[in-house]
Amino acid sequence: MTVLADERELRDDALNGLELATRLERLWRTPSGLLGALMSVDHKVIGRRYIVTAFAFLLLGGALAILMRIQLAGPEQTFLSPDKYNQIFTMHGSTMMFLFAVPVMEAFAVYLVPLMVGTRNIAFPRLNAFSYWMFLFGGCFLWISFLLNVGPDVGWFAYVPLSSLQYTPTKRPDVWAQMITFTEVAALAVSVEIVVTVFKLRAPGMTLDRIPLFVWAMLVTSFLVMFAMPSIMVASTSLILDRLVNTRFYDPSSGGHPLLWQHLFWFFGHPEVYIIFIPGTGMVSMILGTFARRPVIGYPVVILSLIATGFLSFGLWVHHMFVTGLPQLGAGLFTASSMLIAVPSGLQIFCWLATLWDGRPVYRTPLLFVIGFIVVFVLGGLSGVMVASVPIDTQVHDTYFVVAHFHYVLIGGAVFPLIGAVYYWFPKITGRMLSETLGRWNFWLALIGFNVAFFPMHILGLIGMPRRVYTYTADMDWAHLNLVSSGGAVVFAISFAILLANVIYSLRRGALAGDNPWDASTLEWATSSPPPPQNFDRIPVVKHRDPLWFDNESLPVVAGLSIERREVLLTSLAEAEPQTREASPEPSVWPLITAIATTIFFVGSIFTPWAVLWGTPPMAVALIGWFWPSGSREDEE
């Protein structure tokens, strides 16, 4: 090996084997102890925390769903009061959308993207830590408010005028609106990190057409987040301003308009569906390639479909507003664009089916969940084409048909791939395999339970049962289908209990995984399970779209990064040619302190506008601490 190290600094081409690994581990590890844990900027540590926290919110949101199904299992039940029911369905939707679905996808990206592109840490690692703390504090803020009976009760969309001060004079809508701000700040931060990681930190040789499909999916998702989420932040902030200082954005008596809220909300809300769905498709592509034992057919078609889906998702929002009295012609055009988006989604599904058809599928649990995804999502897509049509939507709007549709799309399109992803990447994250037997029970109960729970809702909607009612009378003939639906929900919940049991059991007693238990092809499987703090002892060189299938003996590497300070390799955008070495930040407690200061500012500002005044200096102090030169070599240079 050629020694390229300069006189000043020891580099990784000067050492080999265990000595190199030990030096790098010491350099990149998270400091021990509680303070060390709070300072961590390791993407794997933060990714794990993100995943666990998001799944904790899934369990909480799921528990609320069960409470609603108990209430609706029979007519005129009094298990929940109307007020509590309103809070619960709002909390369920808000928790699932803002605290589970989006964060869990970003959490997997935070953990996996740096490994998949062959780098040592995510871009802007301190921002990553800040993002997690903001997400955690925002989620806790919402749930503590709920436990204090200040949980929002205006739906996950918080339509005005219901959410205005006049009709809801409590703090409940403020809690909802500010929770949005917390989670959106977190999501935007992660998106910036993902984009920069994908564009600048890829391993040498990982040209644009060698990027793993999950990474492509997260890249598209990140752009969606950056373009869609400012809309909801504007909406939620203006709602708080309306309620706090009478700005009257949404008050028609002063020139405001309630429909402005709906436009702003759904300009975010519809891309939100794809922010959840597109990462799911990335997971599906990764799992399919591995278990079909061949590369996914139509790699460029899949990527084009992802980009087209992302772009078109911004042109559909009005189909959520078909019954608001918009001109029919305009509604008709949005029908056309709503149906247009079925084309790229359909193309991807055909590519996946062709991959299965042409491959040698191994039906392990992750692949079962992918097949479940295809079935459930296609059913959801079909009802989606139905509600994209104005005449049908006008009839079924605000009925359980729509509830059935979006659960088929969201659970089918995101949760099934996600659970498949848990089974697929759990060995990498923990070093142990999940039980295959429990996995199969998990899958079949989930598939059966889900369909029994949600398919009857189509019929309930068609026979007139409206959404968001806390009960119904016996003479409506909705009782039997509701009872079936509630039974299915219990079975569905049991499937998640099995998943939880499987995870807890396997963490201690699961079979050891090894580096690459599935014989997968992408770079995250080229390192140990779980990966060391530095991810890779040397940065791999990529010569093929499926590097571990192509270079199955030994992966070529580059050397020359420092082993005295944290460094990553920057590469060019298209060709991924090495450009320069860049310092990667050390652990720091300042992101946590900044998040605490921001939390005080956000929570205070729903009670008094003066919080903007006294809440800003602590944030400024925290940010100064964050960026204060630490005397490291990075600062000196």
Partner 1 sequence: MTVNDAHPRLLYWAGVALGPLAWGINLQGVYALAHFSCETTRLTGTIMSAVLAVVALAGTVISARAVRRGAGAEWAEAQGGGPRTFMAWLGVGSGILFALVIANQLAASLMISPCLR
Indicate the residue among 190 and 308 with the shorter CB distance to partner 1. Answer: 308
Indicate the residue among 113 and 206 with the shorter CB distance to partner 1. Answer: 206
Give the helix/strand (H/E) hosting 583.
strand 578-583
Among 295, 420, 488, 587, binds partner 1 (CB under 8 A): 295
Least distance from C-beta 425 to partner 1, angstroms?
A: 23
The answer to whether residue 358 forms part of the interface with partner 1 (CB under 8 A) is no
Among 30, 77, 207, 471, binds partner 1 (CB under 8 A): 207
Does residue 540 sit in helix, strand or coil? strand
Separation CA 175–CA 382 (nearest Å): 36
Does residue 569 sit in helix, strand or coil? strand
Which part of the chain contacts partner 1 (CB under 8 A), choosing from 134-142, 157-165, 280-288, 292-300?
A: 292-300
Least distance from C-beta 225 to partner 1, angstroms?
A: 19
Indicate the residue among 331 and 379 with the shorter CB distance to partner 1. Answer: 331
Does residue 581 sit in helix, strand or coil? strand
Find out whether 603 and 178 touch, Cβ atoms under 8 Å: yes
Contacts of 266 (CB under 8 A, 6+ apart): 317, 318, 320, 321
**Burial annotation 62-84 (CB, 10 A radius, 16+ → b, else e):** bebbebbbebbbbbeeeebeeeb
Amino acid at 352: W
Least distance from C-beta 338 to partner 1, angstroms?
A: 11
186-205 positions binding partner 1, by CB under 8 A: 205
Indicate the residue among 83 and 575 with the shorter CB distance to partner 1. Answer: 575
Among 25, 83, 209, 398, binds partner 1 (CB under 8 A): 209
Which part of the chain contacts partner 1 (CB under 8 A), choosing from 48-56, 188-196, 301-309, 505-513?
A: 301-309
Indicate the residue among 119 and 338 with the shorter CB distance to partner 1. Answer: 338
Least distance from C-beta 304 to partner 1, angstroms?
A: 4
Separation CA 529–CA 520 (nearest Å): 13
The answer to whether residue 311 forms part of the interface with partner 1 (CB under 8 A) is yes
Separation CA 430–CA 435 (nearest Å): 13
Give the number of other CB atoms < 10 A from CB of residue 158: 24
Find out whether 41 and 47 touch, Cβ atoms under 8 Å: no
Which part of the chain contacts partner 1 (CB under 8 A), choosing from 294-302, 554-562, 583-591, 606-614?
A: 294-302
Among 208, 241, 385, 463, binds partner 1 (CB under 8 A): 208
Least distance from C-beta 318 to partner 1, angstroms?
A: 12
The answer to whether residue 357 forms part of the interface with partner 1 (CB under 8 A) is no
The answer to whether residue 631 forms part of the interface with partner 1 (CB under 8 A) is no
Indicate the residue among 340 and 448 with the shorter CB distance to partner 1. Answer: 340
The answer to whether residue 543 forms part of the interface with partner 1 (CB under 8 A) is yes
Does residue 421 sit in helix, strand or coil? helix
Take residue 484 and report the two structure tokens written for it: 């079936």
| CA dihedral for 268, 272, 273, 279, sign (positive or negative) | positive
The answer to whether residue 258 forms part of the interface with partner 1 (CB under 8 A) is no
Among 1, 18, 147, 329, binds partner 1 (CB under 8 A): 329
Separation CA 478–CA 325 (nearest Å): 30
- What angle in degrees, to the nearest 10, is found between the helix axes of 590-604 and 172-200? 150
Among 300, 325, 391, 631, binds partner 1 (CB under 8 A): 300
The answer to whether residue 304 forms part of the interface with partner 1 (CB under 8 A) is yes
Least distance from C-beta 218 to partner 1, angstroms?
A: 17
Measure CA of the first residue to CA of the last residue in the chain; give whole Å: 28
The answer to whether residue 325 forms part of the interface with partner 1 (CB under 8 A) is no
Least distance from C-beta 173 to partner 1, angstroms?
A: 33
Separation CA 177–CA 141 (nearest Å): 11
Closest CA to 623 of 573, 578, 588: 588
Find out whether 263 and 185 touch, Cβ atoms under 8 Å: no
Separation CA 146–CA 42 (nearest Å): 32
Which part of the chain contacts partner 1 (CB under 8 A), choosing from 63-71, 206-214, 559-567, 616-624?
A: 206-214
Which part of the chain contacts partner 1 (CB under 8 A), choosing from 41-49, 330-338, 579-587, 628-636?
A: 330-338
The answer to whether residue 544 forms part of the interface with partner 1 (CB under 8 A) is yes
Take residue 230 and report the two structure tokens written for it: 């400012």
Which part of the chain contacts partner 1 (CB under 8 A), choosing from 167-175, 541-549, 552-560, 563-571?
A: 541-549
Indicate the residue among 238 and 345 with the shorter CB distance to partner 1. Answer: 345
Least distance from C-beta 297 to partner 1, angstroms?
A: 9
Take residue 302 and report the two structure tokens written for it: 């899949």
Site for partner 1 (CB under 8 A): how many residues?
28
- List Cα–Cα distances, 60 to 19, 83, 93, 367, 605, in angstroms: 46, 19, 11, 27, 27
| CA dihedral for 525, 526, 527, 528, sign (positive or negative) | positive
Least distance from C-beta 536 to partner 1, angstroms?
A: 20
Among 54, 116, 308, 563, binds partner 1 (CB under 8 A): 308
Among 362, 469, 511, 574, binds partner 1 (CB under 8 A): 574
Within 13 Å and on the Cβ side, how many CA atoms surround 582?
20
Give the number of other CB atoms < 10 A from CB of residue 327: 8
The answer to whether residue 303 forms part of the interface with partner 1 (CB under 8 A) is yes
Among 545, 558, 559, 588, binds partner 1 (CB under 8 A): 545
578: β partners: 571
Least distance from C-beta 577 to partner 1, angstroms?
A: 11
Indicate the residue among 307 and 479 with the shorter CB distance to partner 1. Answer: 307
Find out whether 500 and 442 touch, Cβ atoms under 8 Å: no
Take residue 287 and report the two structure tokens written for it: 């799992």
Least distance from C-beta 545 to partner 1, angstroms?
A: 4
The answer to whether residue 528 forms part of the interface with partner 1 (CB under 8 A) is no
Least distance from C-beta 544 to partner 1, angstroms?
A: 4
The answer to whether residue 333 forms part of the interface with partner 1 (CB under 8 A) is yes
Helices (H), 17-42: 17-28, 33-39
Which part of the chain contacts partner 1 (CB under 8 A), choosing from 216-224, 530-538, 545-553, 619-627?
A: 545-553
Among 133, 299, 322, 472, binds partner 1 (CB under 8 A): 299
How many residues does this entry show for the chain? 637
Separation CA 258–CA 271 (nearest Å): 21
List contacts with partner 1 (CB under 8 A): 205, 207-210, 295, 299-300, 303-304, 307-308, 311-312, 315, 329-330, 333, 336-337, 340, 543-546, 550, 574-575
